[in-house]
Amino acid sequence: MEFTPRRILDNALDAVGNTPVIRLDKIAAEQGLKCNLLGKLEFVSAGGSVKDRIAKAMVLAAEKEGKLIPGKSVVIEPTSGNTGIGLAMACAIKGYSVVITMPKKMSLEKEALLRALGAQVIRTPDEEPWDSPRSHIGVACRLQREIEYGIILDQYRNINNPLAHEYTTGPEIIASVISTPSTRTRPSSMKVNAFIAGAGTGGTITGVSRALKKTHNADCIVVGVDPIGSILAVPDSLNISGEGNPYVVEGIGYDFIPDVLSRDEADVNHWVKTCDEEAFKAVQALMRKEGLLVGGSSGSALGGALAWLKTEQGRRVGETEGLNVVVLLPDGIRNYMSKEWFLKNAFQTEHSDLATRISGILAQEEIMPVPQASL
């Protein structure tokens, strides 16, 4: 078996990123797609999500700028959880204290991981608007004011958020596509023709878009995915139906527009709204058809991609052999295994001939007489 040897890494931060791009051939075939449907698999990063990248970038930049003082600084961050996990990992390595504020709807697994990494965790009410003093952002700001040497790296405004993706995630996707040869059985345009990602802070889709369009393919179509209930999509009319409604999917969507999100059509060409139901259905497909143990926002991204591929523009891409459509899959199921939606998916039984056969065998065994022992 061939393998590529890897050098010994200095610490876990060196294992952030460099994630694989994987073909989603079975889902593509089921959907009748002729394009190459590809997934950028972020849960294999050291901390388990795409947010490891920005956590590492923000901490290293703050150190370089002298904003973090070894032995004194307390890193405080409002987060849906994954950025917090990335920061807690980075700060465990670097030796900084960490305080994470997080809405109550976010999973218990995220809180447990944060605490395991040494972070203090404060939960805030889900219903509080972002600018409320009781929201996760409001509480973080209060703590920053009152804790000596407290600092908020601020993923919503920090330029190193989109830059991390422009300098790492985007180039990795490009390298994977251009280094995979086009063959008769697997034709390829050798370009990224479309990129689809969910938007939370918006740093991922903004940064990757800039990498793709500036250095690789100016005609790449970038599609943003936003849950119903959020207000990030453009035009604003897309957000009217269901605005403010709660949604279960974690890590994407907001009730305000983060500074790092570019809503310029030159960066994000189209937007798709998704619901929880289609997100969790897509997660199940990724697990059962492609063997990928992804989280709910990955389902949102795939669900949004499939919805876009049914539009007039999307159909032209989906029906063309060799075009490459990349979907960003942000994290894994590790963070959501106690969630009702996952347990329902996991234990939902589907009729199959094998299940019927097993039931028949076990039922037969129950009624068979027990053989008498020989004397």
**DSSP-assigned states of every residue in 199-235:** -SSSHHHHHHHHHHHHHT-TT-EEEEEEEBTB--SSS
> Can you tell me the distance from the alpha carbon of 297 to that of 304, in angstroms, rounded to the nearest whole number?
10
Residue 350: per-residue pLDDT: 75
Cα dihedral 248, 58, 169, 310 in deg (nearest 10): 30
Residue 1: per-residue pLDDT: 61
> Can you tell me the distance from the alpha carbon of 63 to that of 68, in angstroms, rounded to the nearest whole number?
5
**First-to-last C-alpha distance (Å) of the chain:** 55
> Can you tell me the distance from the alpha carbon of 123 to that of 240, in angstroms, rounded to the nearest whole number?
29
Our answer to whether residue 94 is catalytic in this structure is no
- Per DSSP, the three-state class of 290 is helix
Q: What is the CB neighbour count within 10 angstroms for residue 279? A: 28
> Can you tell me the distance from the alpha carbon of 79 to that of 101, in angstroms, rounded to the nearest whole number?
6
Residue 5: per-residue pLDDT: 83
Which residue in the list 51, 56, 213, 339 is annotated as catalytic? Answer: 51
Q: Are 298 and 261 in contact (CB under 8 A)?
A: no
For the chain (375 residues), the mean pLDDT of every run of 10, in chain order, is 84 98 98 98 98 98 96 95 97 97 94 97 93 94 96 97 98 98 98 98 98 98 98 96 92 95 98 98 97 98 98 98 98 96 88 88 70 52
Residue 375: per-residue pLDDT: 44
Residue 151: per-residue pLDDT: 98
Q: Tokens for 243, please give them.
A: 């605005």
Q: What is the DSSP letter of 294?
A: B
According to DSSP, the β-strands at 36-41 and 324-329 are parallel
> Can you tell me the distance from the alpha carbon of 145 to that of 125, in angstroms, rounded to the nearest whole number?
21
> Can you tell me the distance from the alpha carbon of 251 to that of 205, in angstroms, rounded to the nearest whole number?
14
Q: Is the peptide bond before 235 cis (omega within 30 degrees of 0)?
A: yes
pTM for the model = 0.93
Residue 348: per-residue pLDDT: 81
Contact residues for 368 (Cβ-Cβ < 8 A; gap 6+): none
Q: Which residue has the tokens 């798709």?
A: 272
Residue 369: per-residue pLDDT: 56
